[in-house]
Structure 1
Amino acid sequence: MGILSRFKDIMASNINSLLDKCEDPEKMIDQYLRNLESDLGKVKAETASVMAEEARSKRELDESAQEIVKFQKYAEKALTSGNEVDARQFLEKKQQAVAKQTSLQQMYTMSSENATKMKQMHEKLVKDIGSLNSRRDSIKMKVQVAKTQQKLNQIGSSVAGAGNNLSAFDRMEDKAEKMLDEANAMSELNQVGVDNDIVNLQAKYDTEPGSAAVDDELAALKAQMGL
């Protein structure tokens, strides 16, 4: 589950590196989207791995439940045949399987929670990338308009004089700040907060049951079967 703790650092690193290049917003948005696509690949691979772990844990838990039922049936058959020694062995195996089932349940619960978090992160990143792609053309168009206006202002400044030069630069500064604000807002959209805390379940069985528990269950089984 390293990606859960690393993802915030990945996003922060992308944002910081792009802000360092904010003198060219057009290149910045393209680079930012490339970085997000790279992050999406990492999240997708990790999500697939966590989902596979969830499936494996569920399969082992189901197999454990089947074992418990199997040993119960063998114990009953042994008693029906009048062989208490064999019945006791099967019941011991059953109790061991019950203790193992508790640990498997804990593992499945944790892997299921992790898989849910990874899927949520993947879905959010896909949604954010789609949103930014739809806004990219608009942002780049504004940048091009700003660059064209800058050229016009430079030409006009040679004719209009120093006063006009100052006014033109003021307008360009406002435009540049607006573009930077938009880029920063885009960066904030992709900050992903992930709760890394996983609730650990308390084990139901701290120790394996002893022979006394087997004796009690054997007596109960015999009473149930009328033996």
Structure 2
Amino acid sequence: MSLFKRLRDVTMSNVHALIDKAEDPVKMTDQYIRDMQEDLEDAEKAVAAQIAIEKKFKLLYEEQEALFKRREEQAHTAVQMQNIDLARRALEEKKLVEAKMNEYKASYEANKASADNLRVKLEEMRKQLNEMRSKRDTLIARYNAAKAQAEINKSLAGFNTDTAAAGLKRMEEKMLQMEAQAEASNEMTSRGKSLDDEFANLHRDSGVEDELAALMKKYENNGNS
């Protein structure tokens, strides 16, 4: 990936479009933040290298500029001392130094312009990364809310009140049927008693009546005495 490619190719506007298409926008957002962080680190290294080049040419330019001024002053001094040969040599070297000085100055200005441009782009990357980080929680909250709403809507779509009511009615009818069957079973059990069972019950009933009559007679006798 070339330097600042993500900054050129992926703007904040289409980041949102990519997130909308993602199956998991949360993971997409986190991955994009990690990618941006990596790109930012690469960009910072590149900018640092460019600044180092800028400073190098600035130093070379300043050295030649200082030497240029010194040779010019020396030429003036030599002329004042009437040392024409020395003055000539100083001016000749001054001319050579001037050529180098202009060369270094041009290189310094070009590299400074490049470094300044990279500084601006780097600041844009930092701004976008900070913006993405600050919006992450909001994006995640909105995604979770939308996901929950979708689940609720899905559940509501599958919930049919008519079907539920019909099912409840069928359950009531089934219970009535079971109760009727139980009642009918009790009647059949009663009807199924044998003749011996009925006579046994009859004897049991007469025994109670006999005991009751004996008690009543006892208390009648006590009352007469």
Q: Give the drift of 1:39.
A: 1.0
Structure 1 segment 164-183 matched on structure 2, within 5 A: none
Instruction: Specify whether residues 102 and 117 from structure 1 end up closer, same or farther in structure 2 by C-alpha distance, changes over 3 A only.
Output: same
Q: Give the drift of 1:80.
A: 3.9
Match of 2:112 in 1: 112
Letter in 2 for 1:135: K
Give the TM-score normalised by the residue count of structure 2.
0.61
Structure 1 segment 23-38 matched on structure 2, within 5 A: 23-38=23-38
Instruction: Tell which has more relative contact order, 1 or 2 (C-alpha 8 A, sep 6+).
Output: 1
Partners of 2:51 and 2:28 lie apart in 1 by 34
Structure 1 segment 80-159 matched on structure 2, within 5 A: 80-159=80-159
Q: Give the drift of 1:62.
A: 1.1
Q: Give the drift of 1:154.
A: 3.0
Q: Give the drift of 1:11.
A: 4.4
Letter in 1 for 2:149: Q
Letter in 2 for 1:129: L
Q: Name the count of aligned residue pairs.
A: 158
Superposed CA RMSD in Å reads: 2.8
Partners of 1:20 and 1:137 lie apart in 2 by 16
Match of 1:58 in 2: 58
Partners of 1:77 and 1:147 lie apart in 2 by 86
**Contact conserved, 2:40 with 2:122, CA < 8 A, in 1?**
yes
Match of 1:43 in 2: 43
Gaps of 5+ in 1: 162-227
Partners of 2:132 and 2:27 lie apart in 1 by 14
Partners of 1:33 and 1:27 lie apart in 2 by 10
Partners of 2:160 and 2:41 lie apart in 1 by 53
Match of 2:175 in 1: none
Structure with a larger share of its residues in helix: 2
Instruction: Specify whether residues 66 and 122 from structure 1 end up closer, same or farther in structure 2 by C-alpha distance, changes over 3 A only.
Output: same
Could you list the per-position Cα deviations for residues 5-55 of structure 1 after superposition, in whole angstroms to 9, with x for gaps in the alignment? Answer: x5556748x96xx66971211111111111111111111111111122222
Partners of 2:51 and 2:75 lie apart in 1 by 37
Partners of 2:8 and 2:126 lie apart in 1 by 18
Q: Give the drift of 1:150.
A: 2.6
Partners of 2:81 and 2:6 lie apart in 1 by 61
Letter in 2 for 1:39: D
**Contact conserved, 1:64 with 1:100, CA < 8 A, in 2?**
yes
Q: Percent identity?
A: 26
Match of 2:217 in 1: none
